[in-house]
């Protein structure tokens, strides 16, 4: 049965609520209230639309924010864990490794090395056909 | 034998605005953002479920070796919004339409059912138009 436009709006409102408040201790009851739907209906509709349960989506959002923070901030892993809404450093580390493929500290080391390389050797990131175009640009300007 | 495509280019006249649009509104991830000595900025993003296809958001007026005529042509096409860059896939076109509309993304109209699925047409606001499609 097709989903009515006003129901789409409710589900999207709840998704945007997760996007904004992922760092807070939110649960299914709280998210379903944002959508003005019962827990059961909200869970079923959200999962059917996004192919993820609300909890899976919330976890994915938190891991993604942690990934960005590890790459770009100098907070400790424990501080980042709390900042993105995880209560346990153990479950955070396990989930992060399962999702990203590296432990948080290892991921951070790789990203920081990449940032240094980007500053010192930007050419190493750019396919050669684009480098050639730039070189042509420089020689034309000289 | 060529088996896959790894990079495609979307031309834009403002890379900072492009980064905001593709990352903050569409939810893409920045893969690489580096600048060469001549000012050429190599900015690539990837769609959430497609990390191995880098979309290079390049400014044809800065750092690339195009002659003035070519630059003027790109500028005109982008300013007139005359470039159709591709098709984005979504698991639910109507939900994504509601979400992106709430974020201020411009659409040509509401999603419509086509014989191949549900589709809406959106712009990046930087000269490029896309279909956003939910296949049947």
- Model confidence over B67-88: pLDDT tens digits? 899 999 999 999 998 887 799 9
A94 at B interface, C-beta within 8 A: no
Look at residue B85 and tell me if it is in a domain.
yes
Would you call A129 exposed, middle or buried from its count of C-beta atoms within 10 A (0-12, 13-18, 19+)? exposed
| Residues of chain A found within 8 Å of residue B64, distances taken between Cβ atoms | 130, 133-134, 137
What span, in angstroms and rounded, lies between the C-alpha atoms of A74 and A71? 8
Is the pLDDT assigned to residue B50 strictly greater than 60?
Answer: yes
Task: Name the minimum distance, in Å, from the CA of B4 to any CA of chain A.
Answer: 16
Q: How many domains does chain B have?
A: 1
Task: Mutate one of B7, B98, B134 to test the A interface: name it (highest A CB count within 10 A).
Answer: B98
Residue-wise pLDDT tens digits, A79-138: 999 999 999 999 999 999 999 999 999 999 999 999 999 989 999 999 988 887 776 655
Among B7, B35, B64, the residue with its CB nearest the CB of A127 is: B7
- Residue A2 DSSP code: P
Residue closest to A5 by CA, chosen among B98, B75, B19: B98
In a domain, B117, yes or no: yes
Asked if the Cβ–Cβ distance from B65 to A122 is below 8 Å, we say no
Domain hosting residue B121, numbered range: 7-135
- The distance in angstroms from the start CA to the end CA of chain B is 31
On whether residue B118 sits in a domain, the answer given is yes
Nearest to A16 by CA among A46, A51, A37, A41: A46
- Would you call B90 exposed, middle or buried from its count of C-beta atoms within 10 A (0-12, 13-18, 19+)? buried
Distance of CA B93 to the CA centre of its chain: 17
* Domains in chain A: boundaries: 1-51, 60-142
CATH architecture of A60-142: Orthogonal Bundle (1.10)
User: Quick one: pLDDT at residue A138?
Assistant: 57
Helices (H) and strands (E) in chain A, counts: 8, 0
Touching check for A5 and chain B: CB below 8 Å? yes
Please return the burial class of A31, using the count of CB atoms within 10 Å of its CB with bins 0-12, 13-18 and 19+: buried
* Residue at B90 is within a domain: yes
pLDDT band at residue A5, thresholds of 50, 70 and 90? confident
For residue B92, the chain A residues in CB contact (below 8 A) are 49-50
In a domain? residue B1 = no
What's the CATH number where B58 sits?
A: 3.10.180.10
- The two beta strands, B50-58 and B7-11, are parallel
In the beta sheet, which residues pair with residue B87? B131
Contact A91, A72 (CB under 8 A): no
């Amino acid at each position: 049965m097709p989903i009515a436009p006003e129901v789409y709006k409710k589900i999207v409102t709840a998704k945007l609520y997760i996007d904004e408040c992922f760092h807070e201790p939110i649960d299914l009851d709280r998210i379903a209230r944002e959508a003005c739907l019962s827990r059961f209906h909200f869970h079923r509709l959200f999962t059917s639309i996004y192919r993820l349960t609300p909890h899976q989506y919330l976890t994915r959002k938190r891991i993604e924010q942690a990934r960005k923070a590890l790459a770009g901030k100098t907070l400790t892993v424990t501080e980042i864990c709390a900042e993105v809404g995880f209560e346990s450093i153990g479950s955070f580390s396990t989930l992060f490794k399962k999702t990203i493929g590296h432990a948080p500290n290892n991921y951070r080391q790789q990203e920081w090395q990449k940032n240094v390389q980007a500053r010192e050797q930007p050419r190493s990131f750019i396919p050669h056909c684009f480098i050639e175009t730039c070189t042509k640009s420089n020689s034309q300007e000289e | 034998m060529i088996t896959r495509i790894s990079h495609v280019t979307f031309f834009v006249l403002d890379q900072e605005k492009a980064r905001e649009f593709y990352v903050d509104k569409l939810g893409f991830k920045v893969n690489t953002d580096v600048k060469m000595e001549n000012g050429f900025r190599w900015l690539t993003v990837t769609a959430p479920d497609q990390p191995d296809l880098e979309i290079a958001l390049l400014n044809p007026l800065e750092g690339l070796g195009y002659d003035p005529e070519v630059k003027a042509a790109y500028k005109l096409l982008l300013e007139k919004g005359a470039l159709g860059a591709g098709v984005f896939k979504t698991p639910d076109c109507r939900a994504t339409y509601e979400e992106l509309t709430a974020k201020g993304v411009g659409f040509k109209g509401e999603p419509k059912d086509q014989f191949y699925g549900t589709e809406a047409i959106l712009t990046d606001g930087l000269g490029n138009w896309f279909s956003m499609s939910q296949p049947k």
